[in-house]
Amino acid sequence: MPELPEVEVLVRHLAPLLTGRRIQTVEVRRVKSVRPATPRAFARRLAGARCLGVSRRGKYLVFELTAGRDRRPFRLLGHLGMTGRMYFQPRGAPLPKHAAVVFRMGGRAFIYEDPRYFGRLTLDLRPLAELGPEPLDRTYTAGHFRTALQRSSQPVKVKLLDQSCVAGIGNIYASEALFRARIAPHRRARSLDAAEVRRLWRAIRGVLREAIARGSTVPLNWAGQGHRDGLFYYGSAADAARYAVERLRVYDRAGEPCRRCGSAIVRIVQAARSTFYCPNCQRP
């Protein structure tokens, strides 16, 4: 799935396009992709609603909507899973194979597409309550982070993927943040001393902020096909090489030289997910 930076860039892209627009019709093509899982109830709630704004919480997109006589605002949550995308369909383009939901807005089709169907559009807001703090929030301190790590005997890399610890970090940026903080991924979360916690806290914020800045400067092809072009998530293959250089320091670079010391980057498996790190820069 797109992680926090990808979702943030998408939200910034969508907010001005959707705000003020009315949803004319809703077509649910994959029942699994919506909740409530009855397409009728889902569509009835959303058809005719107006979008008041789009924001992000962790990896969730939050759509502020209003509808009906009372104009009472309500929210729709979007989670892109591993392969979800949202975009206005280019005029005349055929509906993609895995279009899960199609909204008609302003005479155009707004598509929620998801080949693996791990993502969701949901009116159930309970997932938000489970999320930990926003890592980029001004009020988020190293002290908060330390408290969250204190009682965990999990490897710190695995703990970073726990959305109740900090919201928004995924498999790519977990490895990237640990490299930046020069902390070995196998370390138990509670074994980090205060200085290490602070380094990792800074690294997380730095890595996420830079990724957002990078994503904001790349010419993104929102409706593009193909998911592993090495560029942010949405990029077009033609431009990928130019922008992908040095974007990631360790993720998916097993066997390649560390950009800091030249040692070969190592891949290990933790909690059934790949972790990448430099055995020299990140010593236990």
Partner DNA sequence: CACCATGTTCCTTG
Partner DNA sequence: CCAAGGAACATGGT
Task: By CB under 7 A, name the binding residues for DNA.
Answer: 1-3, 6, 32, 58-59, 79, 81-82, 97-98, 115-118, 127, 130, 151-154, 158, 161, 163, 170-172, 225-228, 233, 271-274
Nearest-approach distance from CB 259 to DNA, in angstroms: 20
User: Is the preceding peptide bond at 36 cis, omega within 30 degrees of 0?
Assistant: yes
Nearer to DNA, 183 or 189 (CB): 189
Would residue 273 show up in a list of annotated catalytic residues for this protein? Answer: yes
195 vs 272, which CB is nearer to DNA?
Answer: 272
Active-site entry in 3, 6, 8, 113: 3
**What is the chain's percent helix, strand, coil content, to nearest 5?**
30, 25, 45
- Residue 53, strand partner residues: 64
267 part of the active site: no
Is residue 84 within 8 A of residue 194, CB to CB? The reply is no
Supply the minimum distance, in Å, between the C-beta of residue 24 and DNA: 28
Name the residue among 51, 52, 54 with its Cα closest to residue 12.
54
Nearer to DNA, 22 or 29 (CB): 29
**Spatial distance between the Cα atoms of 233 and 170, rounded to a whole number of angstroms:** 13
Catalytic residue list contains 284 = no
In this complex, which beta carbon is closest to DNA, that of residue 65 or of residue 100?
A: 100
Active site annotation includes 97: no
Report how far residue 43's alpha carbon sits from residue 64's, in angstroms, rounded to the nearest whole number. Answer: 16
Annotated active-site residue in 59, 157, 180, 187: 59
Give the shortest CB-106-to-DNA separation in angstroms. Answer: 29
Q: How far is the CB of 7 from DNA (least distance, A)?
A: 9
Query: Least distance (Å) from DNA to the CB of residue 221?
Result: 13
Cβ atoms within 10 A of the Cβ of 16, count? 9
Neighbours of 107 (CB within 10 A): 7
Q: Which residues of 185-203 are buried (b: 16+ CB within 10 A; e: fewer)?
A: bbbebeebeeebbbbbbeb
The catalytically annotated residue of 21, 29, 267, 273 is 273
The Cα 161–Cα 157 span in angstroms is 7
Are 169 and 131 in contact by the 8 Å Cβ rule? The answer is no
Nearer to DNA, 106 or 226 (CB): 226
Active centre residues (catalytic)? 2-3, 59, 273
